[in-house]
Amino acid sequence: MQYISSSNFAKFLENLKEDYEIYVPVKKDDQYFYKKYLDFTDDVVIGEIRAFEPLKSFFFRAREIVAENFKSDIPHTSQKPYCIVGVKACDLKGLKIHDYVFKNHNFQDPFYINRRKDNLIISADCTTAIDTCFCLALNVKPYPLENFDINLSAVGKDFIVEVGSPKGKRLVEKYSSLFGEVKDKFLSQRNEQREKVTKVVEKNIKENKIPPQDSFKGIIEREYESDIWADEADKCVECGACNTICPTCHCFLLYDQKSKNQMARLRIWDSCMIKDFAQVAGGANPRPELWMRLRNRFEKKFDFFPKVADIYACTGCGRCISACPAKIDIRKVLKRLVHDE
Amino acid sequence: MMNKIENPYRPIRAEITEVISETPTIKTIRVEPKEPIIFETGQFIELTIPGIGEAPFTPSSRPAIKDIMEITVMSVGRVTEKVHELKKGDIVGVRGPFGKGYPIDKFKGKEILVVGGGCGFAPLRSLMYEFFDRSGEFKKLFFRGGCKTPQELLYRGEIADWAKRKDLDIKLTVDKGDSEWKENVGVVTTILDGVEMDYESGIAIVCGPPIMMKFSIKKLLDMGFKEENIYLSMEKNMSCGIGKCGHCRLGIYYVCKDGPVFSYDKIKDFSNIWD
């Protein structure tokens, strides 16, 4: 592990600009948003909590052209690879799920792969938690342990640097003059901080009685015909916000448009909460009722993914809780499913 | 930063070489793709109407014919209505083939019963030609097909030729006959009795509307067919074709990549498979 001062980190980013398009979290009101990095301005916040938008936005675009006419090339923009700074552990888990879907599966998605390839993930510890954070229930710690190139733990204004990939190692070595030895007192400061944040999330979990991941096995099958679904879906307005804001949701809609040449095929994020999501042209719909679609959303995350990829497709980031206008709370649904109440 | 992986969302340009009216609501289009699309019977393709959209179909043509593909389409939705407006010379797009078709090699030396209903004749036509092309490999072949009325019977001329084949035992039925209809009247399950084969070891292949498949399976199981020997072609909202877009999930499978052909034992425990 190494150490970097914030002024040296700014220099580090300045150097990275040549090869990367850098995005950093900035604080605006009470939220954090990724913004293209120009300078290490005062609003740049590396620690604290996850950004408002899920990390997937960078690699699995909300809307993009995937085919034009019958041309065999892959439409793309000739931009530099992304360097995303300040990514939190929950979003790294989301990335793992998207990698499974788009990259490591039998079929590969060239658009995702092109954006993921050569990118640089500089993650960071959470230095605080908000009341919707429940990552620990999904076995995600509030500080990254894997899937990063470089991780930063904020200590005061400066950072402890941990390398997580050969690419990260090469970069730290390349700019070695910016990095220094970590003093023991900073290491213990980091550990204290990690413990402090862990306790906050534990308190959230305790207060909301959120069951741990170990108790999720079989809950969807067991509660498949339960009234919980209709009860929870009662106020759903079918807006799809839970899907769009979710770092693991990957479903998309392909649709064609007339373009000046002939045709353009676009893909946009889709939502399984929308009525016609699974409907076929003849009109048959496996999930005509809203509660069935809510159940499907949970089935996908807590039954399908653990069965096919041995992972629960929830990161405990709590974004869907904040996004839902009907106040459908994933923590409460899980609690009800686990306790059959 | 180009990548060697092919673009799975790009359709291949194809020209319509013929449009055949099968019934008042069903047409078969013959397309000639500019690059060969080699499919196995039971796999599906996505047909693009440029600028309008695409929809999944299992080709109804002989897989052995590589340069031409036939797609039988019922006009039921936004894309299929446009398919019905196509004329010879028009340009469409084809993506695929996708998924898993019928495991023909597993059927070698076996007695096979093919049960078709209505639009389900389309993929089965492709399958039947595959069987005919490999006729000697199977012990015995039965076809039992049904549709609502004689007017809705697909491929009538060809089926008349099938009836002359020595390697096929064929019976047809309609829900409602007319003065010229000489064969059975009743739903398709009424002509499954008396198929002279060993049900325990036999293969059954069912394709048709969900309700028809549901009742056919019930009947076939009653007759003694094994769950793992009953093959179905599932219709879900297949879109991307590569198990990514999420629309066609069925239990732990995506119909587009793990199907559309499944043996019944693989999917029977999922809820609402017929909805």
Distances (CA, A) of A334 to A126, B49, B98, B214: 24, 43, 36, 34
- Please name the residue that has the structure tokens 């180009």: B2
Confidence band of B92 (pLDDT split at 50, 70, 90):
very high
pLDDT at site B43: 97
| Nearest alpha carbon to residue B25 among B170, B151, B139 | B151
Average pLDDT rounded to a whole number, residues A160-176: 97
b/e code B81-106 from CB counts within 10 Å (16+ = b): ebbeebeeebbbbbbbbbbbbbebee
| CB-CB under 8 Å, B242 with A109 | yes
Report the C-alpha gap between A284 and B211 in whole angstroms: 11
Sign, CA dihedral A148-A154-A155-A161, equals positive
pLDDT at site A69: 84
> Hey, is A270 helix, strand or coil?
coil
* CA closest to B6 among chain A residues: A110
Confidence band of A263 (pLDDT split at 50, 70, 90):
confident
* Contact with chain A for residue B236, Cβ under 8 A: yes
Interface of B with A in 45-104 (CB under 8 A): 48-55, 74, 76-80, 93
Chain B nearest CA to A277, separation (Å): 6
Contact, B90 vs A262, CB < 8 A? no
| CB-CB under 8 Å, A252 with B257 | no
Amino acid making up residue B51? G
Distances (CA, A) of B135 to A82, A255, B127, B128, B242: 57, 42, 12, 10, 32
Q: Does pLDDT of A62 surpass 70?
A: yes
Report the C-alpha gap between B60 and B123 in whole angstroms: 5
Confidence band of B3 (pLDDT split at 50, 70, 90):
very low
Q: pTM value? A: 0.94
Q: Does pLDDT of B2 surpass 50?
A: no
Average pLDDT rounded to a whole number, residues B24-40: 95
> Hey, is A241 helix, strand or coil?
helix
Give the mean pLDDT of chain A: 94
By Cβ distance, the residue of A81, A252, A255 closest to B53 is A255
Q: Does pLDDT of B113 surpass 80?
A: yes
| Nearest alpha carbon to residue A37 among A51, A48, A25 | A25
Contact, A88 vs A25, CB < 8 A? no
| CB-CB under 8 Å, B3 with A74 | yes
Average pLDDT rounded to a whole number, residues B20-37: 94
**A210 secondary structure, DSSP code:** P
Contact, A197 vs A128, CB < 8 A? yes
| CB-CB under 8 Å, A254 with B9 | yes
By Cβ distance, the residue of A66, A256, A279 closest to B51 is A256
| CB-CB under 8 Å, B245 with A253 | yes
Q: What is the DSSP string of A44-80?
A: B-SSSS--SS-THHHHS-SEEEEEETT--S------P
Report the C-alpha gap between A228 and A292 in whole angstroms: 11
pLDDT at site A85: 98
Report the C-alpha gap between A226 and A234 in whole angstroms: 14
Count interface pairs A-B at CB distance under 8 A. 139
Confidence band of A274 (pLDDT split at 50, 70, 90):
very high
> Hey, is B184 helix, strand or coil?
strand
Q: Which helix (H) or strand (E) holds B44?
A: strand B44-49
Report the C-alpha gap between B246 and A118 in whole angstroms: 27
Report the C-alpha gap between B45 and B38 in whole angstroms: 11
* Percentage of the residues of chain A whose pLDDT score is greater than 70: 98
* Percentage of the residues of chain B whose pLDDT score is greater than 70: 98
pLDDT at site B133: 95
Q: Which residues, 6+ apart, have CB-to-CB distance to A143 below 8 Å?
A: A89, A125, A126, A151, A153, A194, A197
Report the C-alpha gap between B8 and B11 in whole angstroms: 8
Average pLDDT rounded to a whole number, residues A323-328: 96
Average pLDDT rounded to a whole number, residues B40-53: 95
Confidence band of A71 (pLDDT split at 50, 70, 90):
confident
Query: How many other CB atoms sit within 10 Å of the CB of residue A126?
Result: 26
Report the C-alpha gap between A212 and A214 in whole angstroms: 5
- ipTM score of complex: 0.93
By Cβ distance, the residue of B2, B237, B271 closest to A280 is B237
* Helix count and strand count (H, E) for chain A: 13, 11
Report the C-alpha gap between A99 and A111 in whole angstroms: 12
* CA closest to A281 among chain B residues: B77
In residues, how long is chain B?
A: 275
Q: Does pLDDT of A172 surpass 70?
A: yes
Give the mean pLDDT of chain B: 94
Interface of B with A in 157-216 (CB under 8 A): 210
* Residue-range domains of chain B with CATH: 12-98 (2.40.30.10), 104-233 (3.40.50.80)
| Nearest alpha carbon to residue A50 among A22, A23, A31, A28 | A31
- Please name the residue that has the structure tokens 């500019």: B34
| CB-CB under 8 Å, B50 with A256 | yes
Distances (CA, A) of A322 to A86, A169, A312, B166, B227: 21, 37, 20, 68, 46
* Contact with chain A for residue B6, Cβ under 8 A: yes
* pLDDT (tens digit per residue) in A129-152: 999 999 999 999 999 999 999 999
* Percentage of the residues of chain A whose pLDDT score is greater than 90: 89
Q: Which residue in A72, A74, A76, A258 has the most chain B C-beta atoms within 10 A of its own C-beta, making it the best mutation to test that interface?
A: A74
Residues of B in contact with A74 (CB under 8 A): 2-3, 5, 7
Q: Does pLDDT of A310 surpass 90?
A: yes
Amino acid making up residue A10? A
Residues of A in contact with B51 (CB under 8 A): 256-259, 262-263
| Nearest alpha carbon to residue B45 among B31, B35, B34, B55 | B55
Contact, B255 vs B233, CB < 8 A? no
